[in-house]
Structure 1
Amino acid sequence: QVFCLFVAHFKISNNISSASGYWYYSPWVGRSGWLVRMEVRKVCLSWRTVRGLSSSSRPWRASPPVFRFSVADSALLYCRFSKPAPMFLDDSFRKWARIREFVPPFGIKGQDNLIKAILSVTKEYRLTPALDSLSCRRCIIVGNGGVLANKSLGSRIDDYDIVVRLNSAPVKGFEKDVGSKTTLRITYPEGAMQRPEQYERDSLFVLAGFKWQDFKWLKYIVYKERVSASDGFWKSVATRVPKEPPEIRILNPYFIQEAAFTLIGLPFNNGLMGRGNIPTLGSVAVTMALHGCDEVAVAGFGYDMSTPNAPLHYYETVRMAAIKESWTHNIQREKEFLRKLVKARVITDLTSGI
């Protein structure tokens, strides 16, 4: 049995630190709306540790506790971070005002019928029962960056409860550096693997819908209908995903909205997709993990623009300079966002690329 304690450390301006138990999402914010340098850690202790602490008159001076997990939990760097955010869309998606008011990629406006049709077949809206039952959920987002190459992090990555991979980043042949385990593969039509044999057997396929055509594509996939290559895609897309409907999910688009406007601070543009206001899938996945995981790590993140000839991805020869051609992303703003999380120890960067 596992018990969870919440311990918040408040760093006051005169450098006096105080600690208080059982605090979560404190309303203590500064005048500008930011929390006053607050760091929250959720510590999950075994029953033996809790019993040992409670039996001591000076619990924190007792024998060293046996921690099952030590968790840096939360985006308390951001006072507007919203606690209740389901990882995937479920059959109550139309009740979510935050996404109902925006068109893709920041919401679901105009997509009700498509989403309803998809969910009526998939009928699964959560992680697996085993993952849902975990008291402390350790997650890692594996990016596609060339910084992963030759790091031999495979076994360390596989040790996490949830391993999230993005788009078509391959595993086979790269296990030593990127691991062999995949829990979630988040993608959109143009980024999805096109060869059925590339898909991992035990992973969930998760759509991140950036435009209305993406939801239409997923409906084709779920219903095993013919996918037309001329359906508004900017490159060829997968015509088949070797997953049964219960293995398919729709990522909550609120994470795209929150990553863009609340956490990274990209241009609002009246809530429409525009130049430089679309977060990368990596930042979206991190935002999702901040809501759904107790410990968050990343690997393979970071674009070093000072080395234009370095490999952009660990699995191909495209160079770093190619990322400058993207009109949708603001790489510098995203780097600042991720660095803030790393510096505050909200997330751990295994490859030190951020």
Structure 2
Amino acid sequence: MEEAGQSREEISVQTPSSCPNRVGRKCSLSGTAGLTGREGQVARGSRDDSSPQESCYPLRNMISKSRLKLLAMLTLVLLVMVWYSISREDRYIELFYFPSPEKKEPCLQGEAERKAFKLFGNYSRDQPIFLQLKDYFWVKTPSAYELPYGTKGSEDLLLRVLAITSYSIPESIQSLKCRRCVVVGNGHRLRNSSLGEAINKYDVVIRLNNAPVAGYEGDVGSKTTMRLFYPESAHFNPKEENSPDTLLVLVAFKAMDFHWIETILSDKKRVRKGFWKQPPLIWDVNPKQVRILNPFFMEIAADKLLNLPMQQPRKIKQKPTTGLLAITLALHFCDLVHIAGFGYPDAHNRKQTIHYYEQITLKSMAGSGHNVSQEALAIKRMLEIGAVKNLTFF
């Protein structure tokens, strides 16, 4: 009994020195559990003859080695990610974010023209931006296409409209050696963007349809150089949402669009039929502000960017959105082109609003004749080649 007691005492005394931590202590005691007397001494002796690292710490060694391997793998993955990020940084910035909209980017004359050649092929800046009356007298080569890609069959209506509107570009813009332009889309990504001050610094600010400015200046700015619209999207107050010198640019999709603007500007009997949505019947606008966009740009957007046929069955009638049309116009008119507020929610995200100013969803686009997926690919192509840069996430 005394010998057995002595063995237990020795074990309890020697265990801390041979297995100094909790893991080691469990290892030592498990090897002598239930042994007394000489058996305990033999077990203890065999334990002491072996090194503590080998007899007491096998589990700890395994854990340490596993941690080292895991740490090495994570380090390798991190290095690869850093390298990839650096190697693709320019493309990442071009596709998603423009780094510093507060800083005025240098404007290189002809830069947009050189890059847009990759998109449009036989690129030309000689096309007039707006239609003018003199081009429809004694025309030897009439337009090959009907609206919206040409004016074939609508010349008589167009002549009356051109007689009461203008085609000039403000001298302050026309005289610029290098034009810095931003096309402000209507997308929900502009909401809470705080881009208003940056947008106001561009030489030319192009807006779309009935997108409001009043109340949203902090996100979308207050300057408007051109506003592209069509009759069904003209539900805005021209004097409240625009500046006195803003150019209101009619995008004609059909002959009735010419008829509508003529009745508004000449105060004739209003047209109520022939529209997919009733346009305004009263529109307080100065005729000198109104311009008629050259259908050439709609043709280029459809043909070169979306590969749409110019001759389509009447029941299909696919066509570019006003936003893609505005970017196409900017690439023919400007030397530096930035965009903001473009991109639609994913198709499965049915609750996400598509505009920064109203609560409508992608469902409202059904039956519009716009292929938003195809347009997204076209814009990504522009971003990839650097023809345009993005102020918001796309």
TM-score (norm. length: structure 1): 0.75
Coordinate RMSD, CA, aligned: 2.1
The gaps in structure 1 that reach 5 residues or longer are 1-65
Alpha-carbon distance in 2 for matches of 1:326, 1:153? 32
Q: Equivalences for 1:96-245 in 2 at 5 Å?
A: 97=141, 100-122=143-165, 124-195=166-237, 198-200=240-242, 201-230=244-273, 232-245=274-287
| SS of match in other structure, 2:148 | coil
Alpha-carbon distance in 2 for matches of 1:264, 1:339? 12
Give the aligned partner of residue 389 of structure 2.
Answer: 348
Measured after TM superposition, the shift of residue 144 of structure 1 is: 0.6
Measured after TM superposition, the shift of residue 134 of structure 1 is: 0.7
Alpha-carbon distance in 2 for matches of 1:196, 1:259? 27
Q: Deviations over 1:242-279 (max 9, x none)?
A: 322221100011111110012221234x2566526200
Report the residue type matching 1:248 in the other structure.
Answer: V
Match status 1:332 vs 2:373: yes
| SS of match in other structure, 2:325 | helix
Give the aligned partner of residue 364 of structure 2.
Answer: 322
Provide closer, same or farther for how the CA distance between residues 277 and 228 of structure 1 changes in structure 2, counting only shifts above 3 A. closer
Match status 1:73 vs 2:86: no
Measured after TM superposition, the shift of residue 70 of structure 1 is: 3.6
Match status 1:287 vs 2:328: yes
Quick check: 1:103–1:272 contact (8 Å CA) kept in 2? no
Alpha-carbon distance in 2 for matches of 1:329, 1:68? 35
Q: Percent identity?
A: 37
Alpha-carbon distance in 1 for matches of 2:384, 2:272? 44
Alpha-carbon distance in 2 for matches of 1:106, 1:274? 17
The more displaced of 138-147 and 74-83 is: 74-83
Report the residue type matching 1:339 in the other structure.
Answer: K
Quick check: 1:87–1:126 contact (8 Å CA) kept in 2? no
| SS of match in other structure, 2:337 | strand
The more displaced of 336-345 and 77-86 is: 77-86
Alpha-carbon distance in 1 for matches of 2:375, 2:267? 37
Q: Deviations over 1:213-265 (max 9, x none)?
A: 001111112212232222x1111212233322221100011111110012221
Report the residue type matching 2:143 in the other structure.
Answer: R
| SS of match in other structure, 1:266 | coil
Quick check: 2:345–2:354 contact (8 Å CA) kept in 1? no
Provide closer, same or farther for how the CA distance between residues 117 and 322 of structure 1 changes in structure 2, counting only shifts above 3 A. closer
Provide closer, same or farther for how the CA distance between residues 276 and 150 of structure 1 changes in structure 2, counting only shifts above 3 A. farther
| SS of match in other structure, 1:173 | coil
Measured after TM superposition, the shift of residue 79 of structure 1 is: 1.5
Measured after TM superposition, the shift of residue 67 of structure 1 is: 8.5
Q: Equivalences for 1:302-313 in 2 at 5 Å?
A: 302-305=343-346, 306-313=348-355
Alpha-carbon distance in 1 for matches of 2:199, 2:354? 20
Provide closer, same or farther for how the CA distance between residues 243 and 192 of structure 1 changes in structure 2, counting only shifts above 3 A. same
Quick check: 1:100–1:107 contact (8 Å CA) kept in 2? yes
Give the aligned partner of residue 301 of structure 1.
Answer: 342
Higher Cα radius of gyration: 2
Provide closer, same or farther for how the CA distance between residues 198 and 286 of structure 1 changes in structure 2, counting only shifts above 3 A. same
| SS of match in other structure, 1:334 | helix
Match status 1:262 vs 2:304: yes
Alpha-carbon distance in 2 for matches of 1:128, 1:136? 15
Give the aligned partner of residue 13 of structure 2.
Answer: none
Alpha-carbon distance in 1 for matches of 2:130, 2:314? 21
Provide closer, same or farther for how the CA distance between residues 313 and 87 of structure 1 changes in structure 2, counting only shifts above 3 A. same
**How many residue pairs get matched?**
283
Measured after TM superposition, the shift of residue 196 of structure 1 is: 5.2
The more displaced of 282-291 and 107-116 is: 107-116
Give the aligned partner of residue 131 of structure 2.
Answer: 89
TM-score (norm. length: structure 2): 0.67
Measured after TM superposition, the shift of residue 68 of structure 1 is: 5.0
Give the aligned partner of residue 43 of structure 1.
Answer: none
Quick check: 1:259–1:287 contact (8 Å CA) kept in 2? yes
Alpha-carbon distance in 1 for matches of 2:325, 2:314? 15
Alpha-carbon distance in 2 for matches of 1:237, 1:338? 29
The gaps in structure 2 that reach 5 residues or longer are 1-103
Give the aligned partner of residue 37 of structure 1.
Answer: none
Q: Deviations over 1:154-205 (max 9, x none)?
A: 0111111111111100000000100001111110000012545544233111
